[in-house]
Structure 1
Amino acid sequence: MNGIPRRKTAFVTGGTGFLGWEIIRQLLEAGHHVVALSRSGDLPGDLPRAALEIVRGDLDDVETLTEAMRGASVVYHVAADVRMWRAKWVEIERTNVTGTRNMLSAARRAGVPRFVFTSTGSTIGKPYPPPHAVVTVDETSPYNFAPLQMVYPHTKWLAEQEVERAGREGLFVVITHPVAVFGPGDWKRNVLPLFWATRKGTTIAAPNGIRTTCDVRDVATAHLAAAERGSSGRHYILGGEALSVRALLTRIAAAAGGKAPRFTLPDRAVMGLSFLMESASRLTGRPPMLSHEMALQSTFRVRLSSERAARELGYTSRPLDVSLADAARFYREQGWL
């Protein structure tokens, strides 16, 4: 198979979000027809509409999904519930696991030959408890966090099992693992709070972890390459510069015109804060500012390697400061920063 035929159809979920929207933009720019699933029946931003069809629906409706996928050459399943809040486990699992199962069923029924699934760098195995030294991991490091009860990576890992099973049954599947994504087009404002926090000066301290970062535009380009040049059943980490959480917040502050953190918190303090905030959230019913899962992830001292994606997909990642500057510019243009 030779990838996506020119001017054929791609079916995309998650188009109202950060990465899905950018994938749609790049597909349209490349001359493809795009069918986008949207619960609201619309997409944000200024996208050329001549080759864009928006289907109102959700991941629960297999019949609608099947009909919308007919004639597509590839599916990009990007939609996910990214909340890191164990209290909403059932809802998150329904979207991330059952929704993916429904997407695969619809793709098979519609005869779509290729399926690209967006997972997360959080499902890549990492040493725990975190060692003091920074460790580099890649796609060969198996998921090992089931005992830690982290809802987002666990449900995405379960979804990966569904995708891999479909691959063994004959569907061409590729699984991508984006890491901490920055850049323009964060329409749902998932990353914006980090910029807000530095502007307000509330990021006095930072956890002691390491984050691997990437740019949404490079990750979207890699998704198109995965459909064209990826190997079926293959996993690809999509990352870039790795740096401490404190250094990351310092550079976000520079882009946002905010204040950098002044010191680093020990892991126990971070976990203690998350316990207090989760306890408060059970009383208020509101999401915790720092959940148990967020705290755990902020203490991992791990770099994620993108060498496989670079070698097999031609993946590259632009400098982090460019991504942050472009993100800040986008937020200002929307009147959000």
Structure 2
Amino acid sequence: MKIFVTGSTGFVGSAIVQELIRAGHEVLGLARSEAAAQSLSGIGAQIHRGDMEDPDSLRSGVSAADAVIHTAFNHDFSKFKENCEKDKRSIDAMSSVLAGSDRPLIITSALAVLPKGRLVTEDTLPVFRPHANPRIASEEAAEVAKEKGVNVSIVRLPPSVHGNGDRAFIPTLIDLARNKGVSAFIEEGNNCWPAVHRLDAAQLFRLVLESETTGVYHAVAEEGVAFKEIAAVIGERLNVPVKSIAREEANNHFTWFTHFAEMDLNSSSEKTKEKLGWKPKQHGLLNDIDSLNYFKLKG
């Protein structure tokens, strides 16, 4: 199959591209820069020049492919709501080409759109409007696509997709601990994050692509890792104290990251594993953090 992949040079998307090529698929990667084009060409992918904010380039990329995997997303949290709405428009543009066909569209979403404080499964439904998390816009677009007859599936990623090259939540916590001189957690620190390694996530996207059925899938290798355990590994590696802070002090310490630092989300992927035969085999989150990859750039 020839697969159009958005976000093809990103942290997760680049792993998906390599997974697809190893499995014998052709990849048409969206590239908005010469550097991205060279990166894709170097691993054997074809290049499609375009941009997520250029709907015509998205539609032409979809038209040239047998299936679409959409992983691109702007993670600038200062414009989070705006970026979520842009993602919705991008999905709408790609869906317009696929309506009424059997060609698969795989959309990336986040487990954080689901209810907190309890175990959630692939069958757990998010509350749509109103919703506190703007990221729900992607799943709203998926629902609209289904109504148009698009063969759409959703892969929900956990707050920590970890591995070499990670520049997201774990590096943010490491930088906070380094700058504040303490690795902190809120109250008891028993709130949990589900997690998955980027290579395991990439394999799951391929399995969803090759499956003949649509659905909602959870890219979860670990149902929930206690935040205090994450803080402990970071504190040990940086040789700084590990400390509980009161909830009212959280904003002062974590600033914009407070929402994620207090997130309590346990997620199952049993139905995903059973349906697709997915078997995560990479290092777990704590073992991965406790490696030089997360600390070697800054002392």
Shorter-chain TM-score bucket reads: 0.7 to 0.9
Contact kept, 8 Å, 1:59 with 1:102, in 2: the verdict is: no
Contact kept, 8 Å, 1:39 with 1:58, in 2: the verdict is: yes
SS in 2 for 1:42: helix
Alignment of 1:95-174 (within 5 A): 95-108=86-99, 113-127=103-117, 135-144=118-127, 149=132, 153-154=133-134, 156-174=135-153
Gaps of 5+ in 1: 1-7, 128-134, 275-288
Residue by residue, what CA displacement relative to the aligned partner does 1:217-265 show, whole Å, maximum 9, x if unpaired? Answer: 1011001111112632x211211332221211223455xx313552222
Structure-1-length-normalised TM-score: 0.75
Task: Sort the Cα spacing of 1:253 and 1:89 in 2 relative to 1 into closer, same or farther, 3 A.
Answer: closer
User: Letter of the aligned partner of 1:164 in structure 2?
Assistant: E
Instruction: Give 1:192's aligned residue.
Output: 171
User: Letter of the aligned partner of 1:320 in structure 2?
Assistant: L
Instruction: Give 1:202's aligned residue.
Output: 181
User: Does the alignment pair 1:299 with 2:227?
Assistant: no
How much has 1:37 moved relative to structure 2? Answer: 0.9
Instruction: Give 1:263's aligned residue.
Output: 243
User: Letter of the aligned partner of 1:259 in structure 2?
Assistant: N
User: Letter of the aligned partner of 2:227 in structure 1?
Assistant: V
User: Letter of the aligned partner of 1:228 in structure 2?
Assistant: E
User: Letter of the aligned partner of 1:60 in structure 2?
Assistant: E
Choose which of 38, 44, 49 in structure 2 pairs with 1:51. 44
Choose which of 195, 199, 215 in structure 1 pairs with 2:197. 215
User: Does the alignment pair 1:32 with 2:25?
Assistant: yes
Return the alpha-carbon distance in structure 2 between the equivalents of residues 265 and 45 of structure 1: 46
Task: Single out whichever of 195-204 and 116-125 deviates more from structure 2.
Answer: 195-204
User: Letter of the aligned partner of 1:118 in structure 2?
Assistant: T
How much has 1:84 moved relative to structure 2? Answer: 3.4
Return the alpha-carbon distance in structure 2 between the equivalents of residues 240 and 203 of structure 1: 28
User: Letter of the aligned partner of 2:244 in structure 1?
Assistant: T
Choose which of 273, 286, 289 in structure 2 pairs with 1:324. 289
Task: Sort the Cα spacing of 1:168 and 1:94 in 2 relative to 1 into closer, same or farther, 3 A.
Answer: closer
Residue by residue, what CA displacement relative to the aligned partner does 1:30-80 show, whole Å, maximum 9, x if unpaired? Answer: 222111112224339966637312222112322222222234121010011
SS in 2 for 1:119: strand
Contact kept, 8 Å, 1:200 with 1:258, in 2: the verdict is: no
Task: Single out whichever of 162-171 and 23-32 deviates more from structure 2.
Answer: 162-171
Return the alpha-carbon distance in structure 1 between the equivalents of residues 43 and 163 of structure 2: 26
Residue by residue, what CA displacement relative to the aligned partner does 1:113-139 show, whole Å, maximum 9, x if unpaired? Answer: 001111011112224xxxxxxx32223
Choose which of 161, 167, 188 in structure 2 pairs with 1:181. 161
For the aligned residue pairs, the C-alpha RMSD in angstroms reads: 3.0
User: Letter of the aligned partner of 1:99 in structure 2?
Assistant: S
Residue by residue, what CA displacement relative to the aligned partner does 1:291-330 show, whole Å, maximum 9, x if unpaired? Answer: 2xx323322333111111111122233333443356x437
Gaps of 5+ in 2: none
Return the alpha-carbon distance in structure 2 between the equivalents of residues 145 and 62 of structure 1: 25
Aligned length: 292
Task: Sort the Cα spacing of 1:203 and 1:231 in 2 relative to 1 into closer, same or farther, 3 A.
Answer: farther
How much has 1:28 moved relative to structure 2? Answer: 1.7
Return the alpha-carbon distance in structure 1 between the equivalents of residues 226 and 288 of structure 2: 17
Contact kept, 8 Å, 2:87 with 2:138, in 1: the verdict is: yes
Residue by residue, what CA displacement relative to the aligned partner does 1:267-302 show, whole Å, maximum 9, x if unpaired? Answer: 3332x437xxxxxxxxxxxxxx622xx323322333
User: Does the alignment pair 1:290 with 2:255?
Assistant: yes
